[in-house]
Amino acid sequence: MLLASVTVDRAFVVGPVRRRTFGSFVEHLGRCVYTGLHDPGHPTADADGFRGDVVELVRELGVSIVRYPGGNFVSGYRWEDGIGPRPQRPARLDLAWHSTEPNTVGVDEFVRWARKAGVEPMMAVNLGTRGIQEALDLLEYCNIRGGTAWSDRRRANGAEEPHGIRMWCLGNEMDGPWQTGHKTAHEYGRLAAETARAMRQIQPDLELIVCGSSGSGMPTFGEWERVVLSETYDVVDLVSAHAYYCEEDGDLASFLASAVDMDHFIDSVVATADAVRAARKATRRIHLSFDEWNVWYVDRAESRPPTGDDWPVAPVLLEDRYNVADAVVVGSLLISLLRHTDRVHAASLAQLVNVIAPIMTEPGGRSWRQTTFHPFALTARHAAGEVLRAAIDAPVHDTTRFGPVPAVDAVATYEPSAGGLVLFAVNRSVSEPVALTLHPRGFRSLRVVEALTLSDPDHTRSATADDPTPVLPHPNPSAAADDDGVRITLPPVSWTVLRLQAA
């Protein structure tokens, strides 16, 4: 048994818990939209063809904001194809995923779905094959009340009220050579700046996100952010970050420590943004939108798009099945995002349904929660109020990818009006349980309200339609509070939420 402690102090506040930390992402990719969100033949489908069972699961997941429509897809997308009467919408080749896009779902349907699911829509514009004018047209279509060509088209298409979309991504992963219309940092920075300036002429209070790096391992990482932010600093609000992690070559210890990379990624982008700020003598700060993050087994066969003459509609793509170790990593990445709440102002779990997703569906059939659903839903539900800095004292073990890593990672939130202190913690040891003591400072004596732990001695099992609950968060009976602190035992490879209130 390893021994560890976490100290939190009511006075050491990082910043507010932001609801937008619990965002997600819907791309026209594989079965995310078609047979995921949209399945007109499904018994629970509404008049628009959206599955009611999926809407219920999205609500249960606690998602706040959803980025749309891509992803790599957006860099070849003509948004006008997806509006107006369906029989007149063209089918198009989707180069990003070697698929056929039927355009049955477009911006109006997505916004209707978002309202139904109770999430804020977040829109990306195509800066790959398109540019300023098409971004302006889409913004006019979405957000102008009426009296112009595009806004009247929206009204004629049945959306009398403007969609009122506030957050906009200026393209997607433009640093990646795989991106249609990939650009250098200088080329993209100029285009993003001019697009942002023009969009603000329509609506000054938009929240605009410029593309940062598609991974901390990109050769241009750092320099990309410096150049792009130097071009765009005065006209954007946030810079994006994307990161996917997976277990490689059976190296579970490194995989469990993936949040070390996310911490480093965030700290590096913050440092670069602040260096640009200092050089420009600016006062305003640029914040981060971590608008793609997850576990993704990118090299597995199911991540490879079709080839040749085969351009299917909604093929099975990126349908990763997640085990408990994957869920523990998802929980630990949420800990990292919350820890940086002063600078990470939005984040999107990529993606929402079927495609590297917490929610899975059968076409016309069942839907179920993957293991990764649980840490996300529980964190979204219980993180509230303010994020408190957690000082961690834990044994360190070596990992191949990230060097020495403490066995425990944790963050706490405190909601003063309800009096609730919540600790989110992971045990990243592959073999040893941890006896953890929480030292809460500046609180009256506390009692344990609930302790839930996600762990599985056989941490390879996944949920399936036939067996949707092989592993669920379970009450952790070891949690106990007294005047010296709160004690709990964390099994190896586990994620825990511990809820405390004034005794």
Interface with ligand AHR (CB under 6 A)? 27, 70-72, 172-173, 214, 292, 350-351
CB of residue 245 to ligand AHR, shortest distance in Å = 13
**Identity of the residue, 100 or 230, whose beta carbon is nearer to ligand AHR in the bound complex:** 100
461: enclosing H helix or E strand = none
**What is residue 379's DSSP assignment?**
H
CB of residue 216 to ligand AHR, shortest distance in Å = 14
CB of residue 439 to ligand AHR, shortest distance in Å = 40
Q: Where are the beta strands (DSSP E) in 191-231?
A: 207-210
Helix axis angle for 258-280 and 223-232, nearest 10°, is: 40
**Identity of the residue, 64 or 172, whose beta carbon is nearer to ligand AHR in the bound complex:** 172
Alpha-carbon gap, residue 169 to 68, rounded angstroms: 9
**Identity of the residue, 71 or 315, whose beta carbon is nearer to ligand AHR in the bound complex:** 71
Alpha-carbon gap, residue 341 to 456, rounded angstroms: 30
Alpha-carbon gap, residue 326 to 26, rounded angstroms: 20
Q: Where are the beta strands (DSSP E) in 71-143?
A: 92-94, 99-101, 120-125
**3-class secondary structure, 70:** coil
CB of residue 38 to ligand AHR, shortest distance in Å = 18
- Could you tell me which of 308, 380, 325, 383 has the C-alpha nearest to residue 98? 308
**Identity of the residue, 70 or 331, whose beta carbon is nearer to ligand AHR in the bound complex:** 70
**Identity of the residue, 70 or 491, whose beta carbon is nearer to ligand AHR in the bound complex:** 70
Residue nearest to ligand AHR according to CB distances in the complex: 71
Catalytic residues: 173, 292
Helices (H), 281-396: 324-339, 373-382
**Identity of the residue, 70 or 492, whose beta carbon is nearer to ligand AHR in the bound complex:** 70
**Identity of the residue, 57 or 350, whose beta carbon is nearer to ligand AHR in the bound complex:** 350
- Could you tell me which of 102, 103, 115, 147 has the C-alpha nearest to residue 46? 115
Q: What is the dihedral of CA 88, 91, 94, 95, to 10 degrees?
A: -110
CB of residue 330 to ligand AHR, shortest distance in Å = 15
CB of residue 29 to ligand AHR, shortest distance in Å = 6
Residue 69 Cα distances to 33, 79, 317, 480, angstroms: 9, 9, 16, 46
CB of residue 493 to ligand AHR, shortest distance in Å = 25
Cβ-contact 402, 412 below 8 angstroms: no
282: enclosing H helix or E strand = none
**Identity of the residue, 14 or 350, whose beta carbon is nearer to ligand AHR in the bound complex:** 350
Alpha-carbon gap, residue 437 to 82, rounded angstroms: 55
Cβ-contact 173, 72 below 8 angstroms: yes
CB of residue 453 to ligand AHR, shortest distance in Å = 29
CB of residue 317 to ligand AHR, shortest distance in Å = 9
* Per-position DSSP letters for 405-449, written without gaps between them: EESEEEEEEEETTTTEEEEEEEE--SS--EEEEEEEES---EEEE
Alpha-carbon gap, residue 217 to 229, rounded angstroms: 19
Q: What are phi and psi of 107, to 5 degrees?
A: -60, -40
**Identity of the residue, 95 or 136, whose beta carbon is nearer to ligand AHR in the bound complex:** 95
Inter-residue long-range contacts of 146-152, CB under 8 Å, 24+ positions, other chains counted = none
